[in-house]
Copies of this chain bind each other. A is one copy, B any other.
Amino acid sequence: MEKKPNVDPSFPKEFRSTCPIACVLDILGDKWTLLVIRDLFLNKHRYGEFTESPEGIPTNILADRLRRLEAAGIIRKVLYQSNPPRAEYYLTSKGADLGRVLGAMRKWAERHVPGVMSPETFPQPEIRD
């Protein structure tokens, strides 16, 4: 992981390095983002469903993370009613590709964190590109 200046001028300057792990962390590496994605894998799609998850995400954080994930192309906001505007959130295929990351995390936890309660296997999430 030596310092190699990146040649790609479109490479986001807010990324700390070009290391794939570091890039993923710059996109998803906080306390809440992957939990929102987990919920999408559990086929939750509405704001209220996310807030009901047992971890209790604060609404301001949720709104922020939904915005960022959409900006990153990982989820898509789909209006299902225009007045008042109501939306549902879906994984894109880019987002659905995080399934292996979540799966690896789940397996590690099942093996190494006593007391975890896994959901039935993650269902195939519904994708909307």
Contact = CB atoms under 8 A, between A and B. Distances in A.
Protomer copies: 2
Nearest to A42: B1
Contacts of A58: none
A22 interface: yes
Interface string A103-114: 111111111111
Interface in A2-27: 2-4, 6, 8, 10-12, 16-25, 27
Given A18-B117, A100-B108, A101-B104, A53 B1 contact: yes
Interface string A60-98: 000000000000000000000000000000000010011
A118 interface: yes
Interface residues of A, number: 55
Nearest to A26: B31
Contacts of A12: 115
A102 interface: yes
Given A30-B29, A34-B29, A104-B104, A6 B55 contact: no
